Amino acid sequence: MKNAEDDFTQDNTPDSLQDNTSGPPPNESRRAFFKATGATILAAPAILTSPKSVAQVISVLPPSPPTTPWLKELPETTDPLQQTDLFADTDRIPQGDPNTVFGECGRTKHQRWDEFFGNPVLQPDQADVYELKVEAITDHEFHPDYPKQLAWGYVGHTASDSDHLNPTIFARYGRPILLRLRNELPQNHVGFGTPEISIHLHNLHAPSESDGFPGDYFSPIKSGPTLGAPGLFKDHFYPNVYAGYDEFPKDANNPVGGDKREALGTLWYHDHTLDFTAGNANRGIAAFYLLFDDLDSGDEHDPNPAALRLPSHPYDYPLIFQDKRFGGVGTVTEGIHVFDDFDPEGTLGDKITVNGMIEPVLKVANRKYRFRLLNAGPSRFYQFYLVSATNVIQQFTYIANDGNLLPKPLFNRANVRLGVAERGDIVVDFSQYPVGTELYLVNRLVQDKTRGPSGVKAPGMRVLKIIVDREPPEPDVSQVPSTLRKIRRPTLTEIAAAPIRKWVFARKNGMWSINDKFVNVNSPGAQIAIGNSEIWELHNPSGGWSHPVHIHFEEGIILNKFVDGIEVPIPAHERGRKDVYVLGPNTRLRVFLRFRDFHGKYVMHCHNMIHEDHAMMVRWDIVE
């Protein structure tokens, strides 16, 4: 039988993968074309005109130029974003209604604003207030062997009193955040990516208008189909309450409000502009948001007996991985980041950046560290191992998946596998290594096309060198307790009562579809009454590719997993709460979800950003 993959054809040449010179048509023409057709359905035959196979295209793309490893060091600690005074400009004090008179885009009113703040306008000390600008940086150094070049990202003022690209936000349950996002990208940009933005804070329990809905993109001159007007900035209200806010109301015994079993810790924020998420995020618009509470308090010295006292700042270290392709030796774009927004198979990177750098070095003290690993796409999967200089596998403790602490830690683990947008928090105890020890974080997962990974192969690609270079200045009092955070599993009664909704993720006309449809941000594919629970069946009937499916806003619990129609055990790290559900080939998952507290439009999509940009996304709404 002919394999479906063999049917795939596309019009793609190495030239079309180059940046700025002979690159793809202007972004707006693609968007205008997509929109003019009413859907992306007609784009597929237009794009797919050449008989070249994907494998042929990849083989003719020259590899990224070689790099000399381990030349640059990552900073020893995270430099958190500092608050901005948004009260000095009296015309633009954050408010519930959109401030379109003074330059804000036409968002809808912040939900539950009056309930949280009691005034139309925010008062000082009612929230933490931050400002980020999305900017083009022209001197970014991915690696000293490559030219300094263009990158995009969030720029904000950090605690060390400097402007920082993609700073980490430290947040706390019970303390709302008001984040102002300014779009300062060049509006005449050519090359991959588009200069409109929509910030998605993955996977905060955030009201719809602050969730970064893909159709809510904005710039000073353009606005998405679901936004009222363009603008210079957009304010986002992050309540930082636990999900279940209505079911477990805020009171003296529950000062945050919501169900503390629903806490998230490792979140990230990234661009989510319709049709251009892969290009914009791969340009660099992605960063961390770490959320703490009384249990995971971010303080290993915490005297509160309930606190977990996990390794904390500066020994709590987020690591973001992105795969990128750079123009090959002898090409006009030699050493320059290239990508193709228009190819439904995308561009597979062959260089893995760690916090924006290729093959960096991290120096650590010989004590425990918490590493927060994030696969920020666009489409590569990873299976990370920690190995010695002679490739001997080292063990660590796996404590959180998708930002959710597991009920119990998984001790003596050898690897972490991450689909796009998945997070894995691990604790590594470097006290077992003498000063001077060199270790490597290695990706052993083989992937030669954007459709998904194949096997695991040693020794793999070394992406990060870790040098144990010092004794800690004080004794390590951090710990990994034998229980972490309780989980609320649905009861049998709840499972029996929940309606079942089926979603099929498949290829269609060379694009990617859900339930045979391409994305339409103006029309919900499901409407769920607020407060209801449902079982969502996520089905990938193909043997040819993998889909890391992301459901916005609410975490879910996997009830069953079927491969080739046969029920299989759910891996230990997937038995907690999740927001990314990796659908391998011929896989079906049953996921229990509650829909609570806020209403409005959200999305589910494949987080292979290339699939997502080529229509594998569905809008769903919570309705009152």
Which residues make up the interface to Cu ion (CB under 5 A)?
Answer: 547, 606, 608, 611
Q: How far is the CB of 254 from Cu ion (least distance, A)?
A: 39
Compare residues 216 and 612 and give the one whose CB is closer to Cu ion: 612
* Smallest distance, Cu ion to C-beta of residue 390, A: 37
Cβ-based nearer residue to Cu ion, 64 or 608: 608
Residue nearest to Cu ion (CB): 606
DSSP state, 122?
A: P
Of 78 and 322, CB closest to Cu ion: 322
- CA distance linking residue 312 with residue 170, whole number of Å: 12
Cβ proximity to Cu ion: between 287 and 582 the closer is: 582
Residue of 319, 325, 457 lying closest to 378 (CA atoms): 325
Of the pair 337, 547, the CB lying nearest Cu ion is at 547
Residues 6+ apart with CB under 8 A from 353: 142, 321, 322, 323, 324
Smallest gap from Cβ 603 to Cu ion, in A, equals 14
Of 322 and 608, CB closest to Cu ion? 608
Q: How many of the other CB atoms lie within 10 Å of CB of 467? A: 17
How far apart are alpha carbons 590 and 220 in whole angstroms? Answer: 42
Contacts of 578 (CB under 8 A, 6+ apart): 401, 402, 404, 555, 556, 557, 558, 591
CB of 504 to Cu ion, least distance (A): 12
Q: Are 78 and 318 in contact (CB under 8 A)?
A: yes
Contact 64, 74 (CB under 8 A): no
CB of 607 to Cu ion, least distance (A): 8
Closest contact distance (angstroms) between CB of 606 and Cu ion is 3
Report residue 492: phi and psi, to 5°.
Answer: -60, -35
| Host H or E run for residue 128 | strand 128-140
Nearest to 368 by CA among 400, 397, 410: 397
CA 207 to chain centre: 18
Which of the 8 DSSP states describes residue 431?
A: G
How far apart are CB 112 and Cu ion at their closest, in Å? Answer: 34
Q: How far apart are CA 380 and CA 452, in angstroms?
A: 7
512, β-bridge pairs: 507
CB closer to Cu ion out of 276 and 595: 276
Taking CA 358 as the corner, what is the angle to CA 369 and CA 365, rounded to the nearest 5 degrees? Answer: 25
Cβ 617 to Cu ion shortest distance, Å: 10
CB of 547 to Cu ion, least distance (A): 3
Helices vs. strands in the chain: H and E counts, helices first: 7, 35
Are the CB atoms for 405 and 265 separated by under 8 Å?
A: yes
Q: Which is nearer to Cu ion, 218 or 505 (CB)?
A: 505
- Smaller CB separation from Cu ion, 164 or 611: 611
